[in-house]
């Protein structure tokens, strides 16, 4: 098994349910999991999203904390999908909270944001237009001129 140069590692409460959620709603493929014999708790799991590796573990106060314990997260994961609207809808039906409905963005993506049932935030997106960095900057400046304090998705 080869590992990419950079991978995300999530801490969650109820890792068994988290693995299932990511498989069913985001199309992840489980590579393997290490479980504690008595409780069945996941000490470490690895999931593939295409070529990307996501690792996760059950919260354990001795070495990691989940967004629930931290009361939020400053990290957002970006997931490229074929159908942003359908993915958001499916995840919401499975317990995710949509933070920003899908909309076309100035940077050339259709994008929506959600918080999964474990407290992690995801940008669900699909590229709909190739936008050069120069054009993206121009659009950004135009957007700020029209609304100096935009909220996510405006």
**pLDDT 10s digits, 86-126:** 999 999 999 999 999 999 999 999 999 999 999 999 999 99
Q: Specify whether the CB–CB gap between 73 and 59 falls below 8 A.
A: no
Asked if residue 37 belongs to a domain, the reply is yes
Residue 150 pLDDT greater than 80, yes or no: no
How many angstroms separate the CA atoms of 76 and 79, rounded? 10
Tally the domains of the chain. 1
Chain centre distance of CA 128 = 19
Q: Specify whether the CB–CB gap between 94 and 115 falls below 8 A.
A: no
* Domain carrying residue 84: 8-144
Asked if residue 140 belongs to a domain, the reply is yes
Asked if residue 118 belongs to a domain, the reply is yes
Asked if residue 1 belongs to a domain, the reply is no
DSSP 94: T
pTM, to two decimals: 0.88
Residue 154 pLDDT greater than 60, yes or no: no
Asked if residue 69 belongs to a domain, the reply is yes
**53 token code pair:** 């590796």
pLDDT digits (tens, 9 = 90+) for 32-64: 999 999 999 999 999 999 999 999 999 998 889
- What's the burial of 114, exposed, middle or buried (CB within 10 Å: 0-12/13-18/19+)? buried
Report the CATH number at residue 16: 3.10.180.10
Asked if residue 107 belongs to a domain, the reply is yes
Asked if residue 2 belongs to a domain, the reply is no
Asked if residue 12 belongs to a domain, the reply is yes
């Amino acid at each position: 098994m080869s590992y990419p140069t950079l991978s995300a590692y999530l801490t969650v409460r109820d890792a068994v349910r988290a693995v299932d959620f990511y498989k069913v709603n985001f199309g992840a493929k489980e590579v393997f999991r290490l479980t504690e014999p008595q409780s069945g708790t996941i000490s470490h799991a690895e999931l593939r999203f295409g070529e990307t590796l996501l690792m996760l573990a059950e919260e354990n106060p001795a070495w990691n904390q989940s967004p629930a314990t931290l009361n939020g997260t400053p990290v957002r994961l970006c997931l490229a999908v074929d159908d942003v609207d359908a993915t958001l809808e499916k995840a919401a039906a499975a317990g995710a909270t949509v933070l920003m409905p899908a909309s076309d963005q100035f940077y050339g993506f259709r994008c929506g944001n959600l918080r999964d049932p474990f407290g992690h935030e995801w940008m669900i997106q699909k590229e709909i237009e190739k936008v050069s960095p120069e054009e993206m900057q121009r659009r950004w400046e135009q957007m700020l001129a029209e609304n100096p304090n935009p909220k996510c998705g405006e």
